[in-house]
């Protein structure tokens, strides 16, 4: 459990300090592909990976974050909830492809 907490904290920190890095800095290709598919309802991925800021917002949306204009940045609890869903989605994605 502490490894997951550390990773959520690290994701939150990097998203606030370096939001324009590509998401491949934090996520594997399969993870951001399944996340992009879930949020945008398409299998057509962009040529370049999205930024960390976009990806963290999408993970938070999986955890219940509404992402309205004045909502601010998502917190660690919302990211943790979204992270759990992302891991489940990625496992299902890998099972479907195998």
Structure confidence by residue, pLDDT tens digits, 32-62: 999 999 999 998 999 899 999 999 999 999 9
- Rounded distance between C-alpha atoms, residue 91 and residue 14, angstroms: 25
Q: How many CA atoms lie within 13 A of 33 on its CB side?
A: 13
This model's pTM is above 0.95: no
* pLDDT given for residue 1 in this prediction: 66
Q: What is the mean pLDDT of the chain?
A: 94
Domain 2-97 top-level CATH class = mainly alpha
Cα distances from 4 to residues 1, 16, 24, 62, in angstroms, run 5, 18, 18, 16
- Rounded distance between C-alpha atoms, residue 25 and residue 7, angstroms: 12
* pLDDT given for residue 78 in this prediction: 95
* pLDDT given for residue 22 in this prediction: 97
């Amino acid at each position: 459990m502490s490894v997951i907490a550390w990773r959520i904290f690290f994701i939150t920190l990097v998203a606030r300090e370096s939001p324009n890095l590509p998401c491949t800095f934090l996520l594997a290709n399969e993870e951001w592909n399944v996340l992009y598919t879930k949020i945008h309802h398409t299998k057509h991925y962009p040529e370049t990976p999205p930024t960390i800021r976009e990806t963290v917002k999408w993970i938070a949306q999986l955890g219940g974050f509404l992402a309205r204009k004045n909502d601010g940045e998502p917190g660690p609890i919302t990211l943790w909830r979204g992270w759990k869903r992302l891991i489940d989605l990625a496992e299902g994605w890998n099972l479907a492809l195998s």
